[in-house]
């Protein structure tokens, strides 16, 4: 509802009855939201008293009310029960139901209530637009968060690989430093447990060789 301007009563013969009617109408209009809240509170209490499985039958028998309609009343009572009635008095029932729905973000409710308190007329279409705007923003934020987490994971993987490479380079540098310092190579020792058979074979071969061959071998060994 837009901000109201004082009505010009000049030229009106009977002003007082009209003013009184305006007061009555304004009171009823301001009570619309409060009446919805009170109905919701009663429904919540009755539901708790009836016990499981009997509430739907009760609202159908007493009022011909659907479960969805009852939930609308109860949602409004839950969401706006502690709010001053004048704060939401200019909101239509359909707007109240849309705002009280569990799927409506709190920030949308707060914005609509503030705008309504400032005299702005709010429609259900505007509530839907605001909800869609918030949902799209939240979806974008979730996408960005997923990308951030993926990058953080990749950075972690790369950091681990870099640390492994750094360790390998450090080990190679240490080995190179040892080699440049003239460190003796590792010597492996082989133990011969029984040389006898080999010597016997060599002796037999030596004895069977011609004298000149043995002389030549001796000369090469001495040289």
Predicted confidence (pLDDT) per residue in 70-92, tens digit: 999 999 999 998 877 677 878 88
As a whole number, the mean pLDDT across the chain is 79
Q: Are residues 115 and 19 in the same domain?
A: yes
Query: Which of the residue ranges 13-27, 112-126, 156-170 has the most confident prediction, judged by mean pLDDT?
Result: 112-126
Residue 212 lies in a domain: no
Instruction: Specify the pLDDT at position 97.
Output: 93
Instruction: Specify the pLDDT at position 2.
Output: 41
Residue 75 lies in a domain: yes
Cα–Cα nearest to 76, from 21, 107, 36, 111? 36
Question: Measuring CA to CA, how many Å separate 16 from each of 30, 48, 81, 213?
Answer: 21, 47, 35, 152
pLDDT at 108 over 90: yes
Q: Are residues 113 and 81 in the same domain?
A: yes
Q: Are residues 48 and 114 in the same domain?
A: yes
CA of residue 33 relative to chain centroid, distance: 35
What's the whole-number mean pLDDT along residues 23-38? 72
Helix, strand, coil content of the chain in percent (nearest 5): 75, 0, 25
pLDDT at 4 over 50: no
Residue 108 lies in a domain: yes
What's the whole-number mean pLDDT along residues 101-125? 90
Can you give the pTM of this predicted structure?
A: 0.54
Residue 145 lies in a domain: yes
Q: Are residues 151 and 85 in the same domain?
A: no
pLDDT band at 100 (very low <50, low <70, confident <90, very high): very high
Question: Measuring CA to CA, how many Å separate 9 from each of 15, 16, 35, 168?
Answer: 7, 10, 31, 94
d(CA 190, CA 186): 13
Cα–Cα nearest to 72, from 52, 96, 45, 53? 96
Instruction: Specify the pLDDT at position 95.
Output: 92
Residue 3 lies in a domain: no
Residues with Cβ within 8 Å of residue 83, at least 6 apart in sequence: 113
Q: Are residues 30 and 66 in the same domain?
A: yes
Q: What DSSP element (H or E) covers 64?
A: none
pLDDT at 65 over 70: yes
Q: Are residues 150 and 112 in the same domain?
A: no
Number of domain units in the chain: 2
């Amino acid at each position: 509802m837009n901000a109201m301007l004082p009505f010009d009563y000049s030229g009106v013969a009977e002003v007082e009855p009209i003013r009184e009617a305006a007061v009555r109408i304004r009171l009823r209009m301001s009570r619309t939201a409060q009446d919805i809240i009170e109905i919701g509170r009663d429904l919540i209490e009755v539901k708790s008293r009836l016990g499981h499985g009997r509430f739907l039958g009760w609202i159908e028998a007493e009022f011909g009310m659907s479960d969805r309609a009852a939930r609308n009343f109860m949602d409004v009572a839950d969401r706006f029960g502690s709010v001053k009635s004048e704060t939401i008095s200019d909101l239509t029932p359909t707007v109240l139901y849309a705002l009280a729905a569990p799927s409506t973000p709190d920030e949308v409710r707060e914005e609509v209530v503030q705008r309504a308190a400032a005299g702005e007329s709010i429609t259900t279409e505007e509530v839907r637009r605001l909800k869609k705007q918030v949902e799209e923003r939240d979806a974008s934020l979730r996408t960005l968060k997923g990308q951030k987490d993926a990058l953080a994971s990749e950075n972690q993987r790369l950091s681990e690989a870099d640390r492994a490479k750094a360790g390998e380079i450090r080990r190679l540098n240490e080995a190179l430093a040892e080699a440049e310092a003239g460190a003796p190579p590792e010597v492996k020792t082989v133990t011969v447990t029984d040389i006898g058979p080999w010597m016997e074979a060599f002796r037999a071969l030596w004895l069977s060789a011609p004298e000149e061959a043995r002389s030549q071998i001796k000369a090469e060994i001495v040289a």
